Amino acid sequence: MSASAARISVCLATLNGERFIEPQVQSILLQLRSDDELVVSDDGSTDATLDKVRSFSDSRVRVLLSRERGVATNFEHALRHATGDYIFLADQDDVWLPGKVEVMCSALADKVLAVSDCKVADAELRVVNESYFALVKSGPGFLRNLFRNTYLGCCMAFRRELLDLALPIPRGVAHDYWIGMVAELFDHPVFVPRPLLLYRRHRSAASYAAAKSQRRLDTRLAARWVLAMQLAKRLPRIRERRG
């Protein structure tokens, strides 16, 4: 399928994101066509997040309710309802830069997964680092990412065939890390060296991928072991699809 003919689903997970959600939704919708969709899965917000999403009154926006599932499971809920050929992941507090959809769709024309660079910004969208790639030394490679993950969900887009392989997402494994590593086993992901969003970091953010991990070494090693074991279980299915 050509990139121009591919239908796009953007999967956005929300939880009490009223402060930043409006500019993010607007930046996404500006780049979608009339037959694309924005799938918003909300994990039980108690603020005005959903009111602000629904205020756009846009037929491309689909709102799903996901009660207290956690970040990875909330994203999986959105992914299971996505109907597009190309799937984009989005966080509630970032802002997409112009050209994101066009550039990523072009990259997906011959790759199963693409990851773009981004600019790291503070709560007021002041850029504090021009390149996330340079900050964390992002790049493809199974062993490289097994030991230090550089797959950042909000910068990722992939073809449906990868989604079919990645679901279900094992419990206890980050959704973006899992999808990236499944892609490593299936194909050769591409890292696009162009910042295509403002990656907003603030105190209430769900995670800060550029920050040094505060988890103990044994905890991090155990998490890698769980990931490796789950990938081993999924490998026969990946090999079958890969041919």
Residue 148 lies in a domain: yes
pLDDT, residue 205, reads 61
Per-residue pLDDT at 201 exceeds 70: yes
3 located within any domain: no
Tokens 């409006």 — which residue?
A: 22
The whole domain housing 39 covers 8-242
Q: Evaluate if residue 212 carries a pLDDT over 70.
A: no
Assigned domain for 219 exists: yes
Rounded to whole angstroms, what are the CA distances from 234 to 61, 156, 170, 195?
A: 32, 21, 10, 32
pLDDT single digits (tens) 146-184: 999 999 999 999 999 999 999 999 998 999 999 999 999
> What CATH number corresponds to the domain at position 158?
3.90.550.10
> What pLDDT, on the 0 to 100 scale, is given for residue 219?
80
pLDDT at 13 over 90: yes
Residue 137 lies in a domain: yes
At residue 50, the pLDDT reads: 97
pLDDT average, residue stretch 61-86 = 94
Task: Record the tokens describing residue 163, joined without a space.
Answer: 């989604």
φ, ψ of residue 193 to 5 degrees: the values are -80, 50
Q: How far is CA 188 from the centre of its chain?
A: 18
Asked, for residue 59, whether it belongs to a domain, the answer is yes
Of 191, 201, 194, 185, the C-alpha closest to 237 is 185
The arithmetic mean of pLDDT across residues 109-134, rounded, is 97
Region 234-239 average pLDDT: 96
Measured CA to CA, the distance from residue 133 to residue 122 in angstroms comes to: 17
Q: Which residues pair with 115 in a beta bridge?
A: 156, 191
CA dihedral 235, 237, 239, 243 (to 10 degrees): -170
68 or 64: whose pLDDT is higher? 64
> Which pLDDT belongs to residue 69?
78
Mean pLDDT of 201-213: 61
- Three-state SS for the chain is CCCCCCCEEEEEEECCCCCCHHHHHHHHHCCCCCCCEEEEEECCCCCCHHHHHHCCCCCCEEEEECCCCCHHHHHHHHHHHCCCCEEEEECCCCEECCCHHHHHHHHCCCCCEEEEEEEEECCCCCEEECCHHHHHCCCCCHHHHHHCCCCCHHHEEEEHHHHHHHCCCCCCCCHHHHHHHHHHHHCCCEEEEEEEEEEECCCCCCCCCCCCCCCCHHHHHHHHHHHHHHHHHHHHHHHHHHC
| Residue 200: predicted pLDDT | 97
- What's the whole-model pTM score? 0.93
pLDDT of residue 7: 97
In a domain, 1, yes or no: no
Q: Is 44 left (phi over 0), alpha (psi -120 to 50) or beta?
A: left
- Asked whether 168 and 65 are in contact (CB, 8 A), the reply is no
The verdict on residue 2 lying in a domain is no
Mean pLDDT along residues 197-208 = 76
Q: At what angle do helices 175-186 and 217-242 cross, to 10 degrees?
A: 40
Q: Based on the structure, what is the number of domains in the chain?
A: 1
For residue 210, is pLDDT > 80?
Answer: no
Q: Is residue 23 one of the residues assigned to a domain?
A: yes
